[in-house]
Structure 1
Amino acid sequence: MSKTDVIGSAAPQGLRGWLSTDTPHSRFQARMGRLWFGWLTFRRNRLAMLGLSIVLLLCAVALFAPLLAPYNPVQGVLNDRLQAGSAAHWFGTDNMGRDILSRLVYGARYTLLVVVLVAVTAAPIGLLVGTVAGYFGGWVDTVLMRVTDIFLAFPKLILALAFVAALGPGLENAVLAIALTSWPPYARLARAETLTVRTADYIAAARLQGLSHPRLIVGHIMPMCTSSLIVRVTLDMAGIILTAAGLGFLGLGAQPPLPEWGAMISEGRQFLLNQWWVATVPGLAIFIVSLGFNLLGDGLRDVLDPRAGGNG
Structure 2
Amino acid sequence: MLADFRRWALNDDAGSRRQAAWGRRYRIWLALKGNPLAMLGLAIILACVVLAALAPVLAPYDPTVQELTDRLAKPSAAHLLGTDELGRDILSRLLYGGRVTLGMVIAVVVLVAPLGLAVGTVAGFFGGWVDTCLMRVTDVFLAFPRLILALAFVAALSPGVESTILAIALTAWPPYARIARAETLTIRHADFIEAAAMTGASPWRIVARHVAPLCVPSLIVRVTLDMSSIIITAASLGFLGMGAQPPSPEWGAMIATAKRFILDQYWVALAPCVAILMISLAFNFLGDGLRDVLDPKQS
TM range (shorter): over 0.9
Q: 1:25: Cα distance to partner? A: 1.4
**Aligned mate of 2:53, from 60, 63, 71:** 63
In structure 2, the CA distance between the partners of 1:135 and 1:260, relative to structure 1 (3 Å rule), is same
1:169 aligns with 2:169: no
Q: 1:14: Cα distance to partner? A: 2.0
1:234 alignment partner, SS class: helix
- Aligned counterparts of 1:13 and 1:230: Cα–Cα separation in 2: 29
1:307 alignment partner, SS class: helix
Show CA shifts across 1:132-183 (max 9, x none). Answer: 1101111111111111011000100000000000011000000000000000
What does 1:252-291 correspond to in 2, within 5 Å? 252-291=242-281
What does 1:80-229 correspond to in 2, within 5 Å? 80-229=70-219
1:104 alignment partner, SS class: helix
Q: 1:281: Cα distance to partner? A: 1.4
- Aligned counterparts of 1:16 and 1:250: Cα–Cα separation in 2: 50
- Aligned counterparts of 1:19 and 1:154: Cα–Cα separation in 2: 46
Q: 1:31: Cα distance to partner? A: 1.1
Long gaps (5+) in structure 1:
1-11
- Aligned counterparts of 1:209 and 1:30: Cα–Cα separation in 2: 24
1:292 aligns with 2:286: no
Residue in 2 that maps onto 1:250: 240
Using the size of structure 2 for normalisation, the TM-score is 0.98
Identity of aligned residues (%): 62
**For this pair of structures, how many residues does the alignment match?**
298
The alignment yields a C-alpha RMSD, in angstroms, of 1.0
- Aligned counterparts of 1:297 and 1:288: Cα–Cα separation in 2: 14
- Aligned counterparts of 2:171 and 2:99: Cα–Cα separation in 1: 22
- Aligned counterparts of 1:260 and 1:90: Cα–Cα separation in 2: 19
Q: Which amino acid aligns with 2:152?
A: A
- Aligned counterparts of 1:138 and 1:151: Cα–Cα separation in 2: 21
1:14 alignment partner, SS class: helix
1:274 alignment partner, SS class: coil
Q: 1:35: Cα distance to partner? A: 1.1
Q: 1:32: Cα distance to partner? A: 1.1
Q: 1:259: Cα distance to partner? A: 0.6
2:242 alignment partner, SS class: coil
Residue in 2 that maps onto 1:8: none
Q: 1:304: Cα distance to partner? A: 1.3
**Aligned mate of 2:40, from 43, 50, 53:** 50
Query: Structure 1 stretch 149-158 or stretch 14-23: which is displaced more?
Result: 14-23
Q: 1:15: Cα distance to partner? A: 2.1
- Aligned counterparts of 1:102 and 1:20: Cα–Cα separation in 2: 45
Long gaps (5+) in structure 2:
none
- Aligned counterparts of 1:145 and 1:199: Cα–Cα separation in 2: 20
Using the size of structure 1 for normalisation, the TM-score is 0.94
- Aligned counterparts of 2:75 and 2:213: Cα–Cα separation in 1: 50
Show CA shifts across 1:262-301 (max 9, x none). Answer: 0000000011111111112101110001111111111111
Q: 1:13: Cα distance to partner? A: 5.4
Residue in 1 that maps onto 2:22: 32
Displacement over 6 Å in runs of 4+: none
Q: Which amino acid aligns with 2:269?
A: A
Residue in 2 that maps onto 1:73: 63
Show CA shifts across 1:33-82 (max 9, x none). Answer: 11111111000100000000011011101111111111110112100000
- Aligned counterparts of 2:60 and 2:291: Cα–Cα separation in 1: 38
- Aligned counterparts of 1:165 and 1:89: Cα–Cα separation in 2: 36
1:240 aligns with 2:233: no
